Every structure is written in structure tokens, then in C-alpha cells.
Amino acid sequence: MDELHAPHQDPVQYLVHCIRTGEAVRGPLSPEISWIGQQIVDSAVLSAREKRTVPLVG
């Protein structure tokens, strides 16, 4: 496995780096991807609560 170097060693380190440098956040931590992930989680919770299939929330 390749060794990761700062600022890519962990998500918090990467996010702090982006905030400090003004670099755009990319990948799973980006607002676009995170928002989609949250929609999936919210929809899964609603689906479990209502015991039925639901469309993506939001």
C-alpha cells in the first residue's frame, strides 16, 4: 500500500488544510458528495420508519 503524506493522511487533516489554504474540498468531503450522502441516510431513516420504499429526500 502506498504511504499517504500530509494533508491526505486523514479527513480532518485534509479539511483543515483546505480551510487554511482556500483550496476547494474534493472527493467524499466535498459539499456536493456529502449532500448526496446525507440524502441517502435521511431517505433510509424515513424508509425504515415508514416500512416502505421512499424516494430520495431533499
Q: What is the pLDDT of residues 10-57, one digit of tens each?
A: 999 999 999 999 999 999 999 999 999 999 999 999 999 999 999 998
> Which residues are CB-contacts of 43 (< 8 A; sequence separation ≥ 6)?
54, 55, 56, 57
Question: Is residue 13 in some structural domain?
Answer: no
pTM for the whole thing? 0.70
Question: Is residue 56 in some structural domain?
Answer: yes
Question: Is residue 21 in some structural domain?
Answer: no
Question: Is residue 11 in some structural domain?
Answer: no
Give the model's pLDDT for residue 48.
98
Residue 1 pLDDT greater than 90, yes or no: no
Work out the pLDDT band at 58, boundaries 50, 70, 90: confident
Count of all residues that appear for the chain in the document: 58
Q: Containing domain of residue 49, as a range?
A: 27-58
The total number of structural domains that make up the chain: 1
